[in-house]
Each structure stands twice: as C-alpha cells, then as structure tokens.
Amino acid sequence: MQHVISVLVENKSGVLSRVSGLFSGRGFNIDSLSVAPTLDPSASMMTIVTQGDDRIIEQITKQLNKLVDIIKVVDITENEYIEREMVLIKVSARQEERAEVFRIADIFRARILDSSSTSYTIEATGDAKKIGAIVDQLRPLGIKEFMRTGRIAIARKSESGEPAEKVKVPRPHRR
C-alpha cells in the first residue's frame, strides 16, 4: 500500500542525502519526494510517498526517526488527510484543438498559464486521481512536456489534536 510520510527535518546541508541514503541503503522505495522550508526557516518539511507492507513501513518510519537530524516523522496515511500535487503540462494545440484544451482545463479547474501558436501550458492541482484524469484527457492532444511537484499532504486532524509523538511505541502484532 502507498503511504505518505511527513518528515520534519533540520534545515541543513546533508539532511536530504541522509534520508535518500537511508532509502537506497535499505532497499526502500521512494515514489515521490518534495521538500521545502517550514514557517520556521530552521526546519524543512519533506513529504515522502513510499510503498510497502506494514513491516516495511514500520521500519521506514523508525529508521527515519533514528536519524539524528530528523525532528518528527508522521505517517499521514494512518488518519484522514488531504493531499495535493501540482503539475505543469505543455500540450500541443493546433487551431482546431484549442477549444478542447479550454474545455478540459475548465472541467478540472486547471489554469492556462501560457500559450503559443502551437501549445498551451496548463497548471493543475489535485490529488493523484485528479492528476491522473486530466493527464488521460490531454494525452490524445499530445503532451510535449510534463512537470510534477510530487505530492504534499496534510492531516485533517491528529487524533489527540496534538502532533503525533516522535517516538512511537511499536504496536504489538502477531507473527
């Protein structure tokens, strides 16, 4: 199953490499990764989308927690959450197709950022499903370039109303 993990880290050099090194060194997968400073510029938030069974996800979160520069790790997927991703799509649009591009953009509440005689550049935001759908619709017109940010996610509310603990007591489970 796919998991979205929020990782609050010290905003200093080498931290990204520690995190990516952990994934590659232990054979974990990164589906997507996005990083930016938080409101407190001394910290950054990484959103990592990864996959694995319970045992692997447990190892990933614990191993991340163990890295010295990591402040907090939350598996957002454990509770209700909202996720978004932004894409920039340059789609070819000859005269007779221009209306079609507008129609698709409208349906998905995407914005046309730029146009040339042969193409439009579209910005769309949404969850994975919506992004998938707009790409499917635009593909027949000819996608020339495609950029995506990787997903970011936010919990609707953490259970206690407080952020989750850094050190989780592992759940007992049966072999």
Partner 1 sequence: MELSGSRILVECLKREGVRVLFGYPGGVNLPVFDALYDEKEIDVVLCRHEQGGIHMAEGYARATGQPGVALVTSGPGATNTVTGLTDAYMDSTPIVVITGQVPTHLLGNDAFQEADVVGITRPCTKYNVLVTKVGDLAQAVKEAFYIATSGRPGPVLIDLPKDVALAKTRFKYPEKVSLRSYAPALKGNKWQIKQAAEAILKARRPVIYAGGGVLASNAHTELCELAELTNIPLTLTVMGLGAFPGTHRLFLGMLGMHGTYCANMSIHHADLIIAIGARFDDRVTGRVADFSRAHIIHIDVDPTSIHKNIKADVPIVGDARLVLNDLIEILQAHGIEKMESHADWAAQIALWRAEHPLSYTQNDNEVIKPQYVIEKISEMAPKEAIITTDVGQHQMWAAQFYKFDCPRTFINSGGLGTMGYGLPAAIGAQKAYPNRRVICISGDGSIVMNIQEIATAVEQRLPVKVAIINNQYLGMVRQWQQLFYNKRYSSSYMGDAIDFVKLAEAFGAAGLRATKVVEVEPVLQKAMAIDGPVIIDFKVSPTENCYPMIPAGAAINEMVFADPETPASALAVENVDGVLTA
Fill in the amino acid letter for 115.
S
Is 69 near partner 1 (CB under 8 A)? yes
Cα–Cα distance, 172 to 58 (Å, whole number): 12
59 binds partner 1 (CB under 8 A): yes
Q: What burial class does residue 42 get, using C-beta atoms within 10 Å of its C-beta: 0-12 exposed, 13-18 middle, 19+ buried?
A: exposed
Total interface residues for partner 1 by CB under 8 A: 27
Q: Is residue 167 at the binding interface for partner 1, with CB under 8 A as the rule?
A: yes
Q: Does 39 participate in binding partner 1 (rule CB under 8 A)?
A: no
Q: What is the nearest approach in angstroms of partner 1 to the Cβ of residue 116?
A: 39
What's the CA gap between 80 and 143, in Å, rounded?
33
Output phi, psi for 90, to 5 deg.
Answer: -100, 115
Q: Which is nearer to partner 1, 156 or 175 (CB)?
A: 175
Contact positions vs partner 1 (CB under 8 A): 9-10, 14, 17-18, 21, 25, 55, 58-59, 62-63, 65-66, 68-71, 166-170, 172-175
